[in-house]
Each structure stands twice: as C-alpha cells, then as structure tokens.
Structure 1
C-alpha cells in the first residue's frame, strides 16, 4: 500500500507527543471556551443570588474585612476557572504569535480558526474550505489536508518550544560534525 501521508517531514500524533498535545488542545478548544463561560456565569449568578452583590464587590469586602477564603470550595472553584482561563489565554497568545510572526502565519491562522477556533464548528471539510477561500487563494481539499498539520506543528513549536531533537538537527545543519 503506498504512503498517502501528505508531508513526511511533519510528524503524526503517534510520532510526536507534543504534536498530539496541541491537536488535543485544539480539538477541545470550543468545549473549553464554552465550559469556562458557563462556569463564570454560574459563579456570578450564584453570588448575586446568595450575597446580593457581584463577585468583585464580595471579594473586595472579604479582603477589606481580612477574611481568608483559603481552602474553601469557593477558592478551589476560582482556581479551576483561573487555570482554564490561563490555558485559553496561552493558546490564544500562541495563535496570535503564529499569525503575526510565522512566514505562513496568516494562512495557518485561518486554517486553525475555521478548523478549531471559530465559535461555531463548521459541519465538514467542504464548509471549512469554502470559508478559507477569501483568505487563501486556490485552496483545495488536498492543500487543506497538507497545510493543516503544518499549521498545528507551527503552533506546537510556539506552545512547547523546539524539542532537543529539533535543536540538534538545526545545529547539525549550521555546524556539521564532519562525519
């Protein structure tokens, strides 16, 4: 059976755990955003009902009174929301860096956006490609499937940095060992 892999230089999920982590992060992005928004809204509503004030007013009054909420369910919930928010902020920052600094950043951004990051998930590849057409001239299904793993790999290198193997290969190109 012939190898139908579009680009043999781009590792698959099985070959590179960091690539796998980025794929997983992207595939769960919409759900994470939705869950974070729901959690924040739920906490705000609960506070307004139970305490008759906003979270910010409540926390200000606790701090002014010198009360400690350490170890409470409230603190655990707030830390969970904060952790999720930091993860989403990190991913969004990495996507912004990719878009503005990478040589194919604009194309990669739109591929990632319509594939994983847009608020509404598109129904299929044809819809994604149709949405990409204003941003990427002459994009075909084959081009999309070739560029998508490249975009994920580029984002992965921003999120996790170059692996030591990547660095060694790069150093060998600049400073051959003369074998």
Structure 2
C-alpha cells in the first residue's frame, strides 16, 4: 500500500514540476487548441444527437426512445441495436471529453498568480456560447493586443499541461486500476 501512495506522490510531484516549468509538447498545445475550438460544436452535437436518435426511433418504430430502451428487444426489428449502441457510445465519449475540458477549466481558474485571468481568456475565446471577438476580450482584460496574445498562449499552455499532464494520465490510471480490479 505504501508503494501505491509513493507512486501517486511521485506522479503529482512530476506533474507540478511540469506545470512550474511550463514544459509542453507542441503536439499537446496544438491538440488542446483544436479541442477548445471544437468545444461548442461538440456540445451542439451531443444535444443534437439525442434529438436525432429520438426522432429516428419515433419515425421507425412509432415509440419514444425511452420506451425503446425499456424494451430494446422490440426495437431490434426496426432500429439496429448496434447502430443505436454506437450512437449512444459516441455521445458518451463526447460527454467525457466535455467533462475533462470543464474540469481542466476549473483547475485553470485556481491557477496561482493569475487572478483567474487565464481562465477568462480561455472561457471568452473558446467556451462561452456567445461569441467574443479578440477586441471584446482585450477590452474585458484591459490590456494591449500584444499582452492578450502573449497571455492567451500562456493560458493555452497551462490549460494543455493540466489536461494532458494531469487529468488524462489520471483518467488512464483510473481505467487501468478498474481493469486490474475486474481481472
């Protein structure tokens, strides 16, 4: 058991060191920026997919989706179980990505020495449903254009470090631990 706690402490120390040094893999920075740009589209897709599945079930079977889920055997004739399962898995995966991004955003909000500034940069540039242009964000932050772009890069770097250096490895460890428990 002590070995287990030592391993956790070692990982947390390494993650803190990475965050302090702002060491970031360029691929992680790029991927983080892409995830942030897709955030609202993924939310839209999740909400829209539920409606599409509901409409498809209603059209093909004359039943609502919750009725079909209650009695999936009846739906087999009309809606491919594998197709429904695949769509629901896709929605679940997308929701997990959104949860990770939201959790990283909360952690970014409490990042020391920035007074939530990095949080607001990421939130206003990528997360908020109301589109903010660069000038709106610069006015909100009360800074120069150069400062905004420098801080935006720093915010994405720290966000990326939280996501790829802390949350995703933690998630993978949890999944490995669950796999070991089931074995």
* Shorter-chain TM-score range: 0.5 to 0.7
Question: For residues 111 and 63 of structure 2, what CA distance do their matches in structure 1 show?
Answer: 46
Q: Provide TM-score, normalisation by structure 1.
A: 0.67
Normalising by structure 2, what TM-score? 0.66
| Alpha-carbon offset, residue 105 of structure 1 | 5.9
If asked which structure has higher relative contact order (CA below 8 Å, sep 6+), I would say 2
1:127 aligned residue (123, 136, 143): 136
Root-mean-square deviation over aligned CA pairs = 2.7
Structure 1 position 52, deviation (Å): 4.3
2:45 corresponds to 1:35 = yes
Which stretches in structure 2 are left out of the alignment for 5+ residues? 1-20, 167-183
Q: 1:48 aligns with which of 58, 68, 90?
A: 58
Which residue number in structure 2 is paired with residue 159 of structure 1?
163
Shift of 1:125: 1.4
Check 1:148–1:10 CA distance in 2 against 1; reply closer, same or farther (3 A cut). Answer: farther
Regions of 4+ moved over 3 Å: 9-12, 48-54
Q: Retained in 1: the 8 A contact 2:22–2:161?
A: no
CA contact (8 A) 1:112 1:151 kept: yes
How many residue pairs get aligned? The number is 142
Distance 2:128 2:163 in 1: 19
* 1:78 equivalent among 88, 113, 118: 88
Distance 2:111 2:91 in 1: 31
Name the SS for the 2:131 alignment partner.
coil
State whether structure 2 residue 66 is matched by structure 1 residue 62.
Answer: no
